[in-house]
Amino acid sequence: MKKKLFLFVTPDGVTFSSDELDEPDVDNYQVLGYGEGLDEDEAFKDFLAQNQWVLEKRFEEAISVEIKHRIYKGKVFSLKD
């Protein structure tokens, strides 16, 4: 069986769209990292093995999303005119 790639994200934490802001202004999910495995559970173990820092932070949950292509294979879109 082939290993699958999973991205792990969290709704915990805050995001600032600019260094000039005093308070967070973006309500989003934050990417924590990725892991590989035959299933989500195995991929989560791989993710934790590679990202021990996550356990030292105050994140409460991680959500797995299976991805078909590594990020470097993705298309880049501009958000500017």
Q: Which amino acid is at 57?
A: K
Instruction: Look at residue 38 in the predicted model and tell me its pLDDT.
Output: 96
Cα separation of 8 and 43, whole Å? 9
Q: Is the separation of the CB atoms in 10 and 29 below 8 Å?
A: yes
Residues 25-71: tens digit of each pLDDT: 777 888 999 999 999 999 999 999 999 999 999 889 999 999 987 77
Dig out the tokens for 14 from the structure.
């805050």
Instruction: Look at residue 51 in the predicted model and tell me its pLDDT.
Output: 95
What is the pTM assigned to this prediction? Answer: 0.76
Cα separation of 7 and 66, whole Å? 6
